Amino acid sequence: MTAICFKLPEREASFLRRQAHEAHMTVSAFLRQLINKKAKKKEPLITIKYSKLTGAPAFYSKDLPPLTTEKVKEMLVDFP
C-alpha cells in the first residue's frame, strides 16, 4: 500500500484521532470509510415503490414527473 502523509493543525489532528477512536478504528481506516461513504452515496436514477393499496410495483424517478391515471389513459388512446 502507498503511504500518504499530510499536515494538520494539532487541533484538527486530535479531533480526527478522537473521531477514529470513538468509531473503534485506526485513523487510516476511518478516513477510508469516510471517502468510500461519499463515493457510494449516488442516488439511483429509478426506484421501485409498492402501492399500499394493491401492492403493485411502480417505478419512480426524481427527474421525471409522476405517472398519473390520466397520463396512462392518454398513452393508451391509440392502442388497438
Residue 16 has pLDDT above 80, yes or no: yes
Question: What pLDDT digit, counting tens, does each position of 27-77 carry?
Answer: 999 999 988 876 666 666 788 889 888 888 888 887 788 778 888 888 889
pLDDT band at 22 (very low <50, low <70, confident <90, very high): very high
Domain boundaries, the chain: 8-80
Q: In b/e form, how buried is each residue of 3-20, taking b as 16+ CB within 10 angstroms?
A: eeeeeeeeeeeeeeeeeb
Backbone angles phi, psi at 56, to 5 degrees: -70, 140
Q: How confident is the model at residue 14 (pLDDT cuts 50, 70, 90)?
A: very high
pTM as predicted: 0.47
